[in-house]
Amino acid sequence: MAPDLAPEFAVNGVLFPALLPLFVLSALIFWPLESLLSRAGFYRWFWHPSLARLSLFVALFAGLSLSFAS
């Protein structure tokens, strides 16, 4: 049995994926959080700070996606 795919929504005839609002919400939460963590020196503990930032964003996006999943 195939899983149901997330529906798309249309705005003026343009189709957008259903996860787009969650992606935007993740970005809006991530930017101030990343700024605070950067000022606090959080990224000094990582060998590759860019990968730490990416991992934080992916974890945030996955957590929001799973929390809003039906």
Give per-residue pLDDT as tens, 8-28.
888 898 888 888 889 999 999
pTM above 0.85, yes or no: no
For residue 30, being part of any structural domain is answered with yes
Tally of domains within the chain: 1
Question: Per-residue pLDDT tens for 56-69?
Answer: 999 999 999 899 87
Which residues constitute the domain of residue 27? 18-67
| C-alpha dist (Å) from residue 19 to 3, 26, 48, 68 | 16, 10, 28, 10
| Residue at token pair 């189709």 | 15
Q: Is the pLDDT of residue 70 over 80?
A: no
- pLDDT score at 47: 92
Non-local (6+) Cβ contacts of 56 within 8 A are 30, 33, 34, 37
Q: What are phi and psi of 14, to 5 degrees?
A: -105, 125
Residue 11 lies in a domain: no
CB neighbours of residue 22 within 10 Å:
20
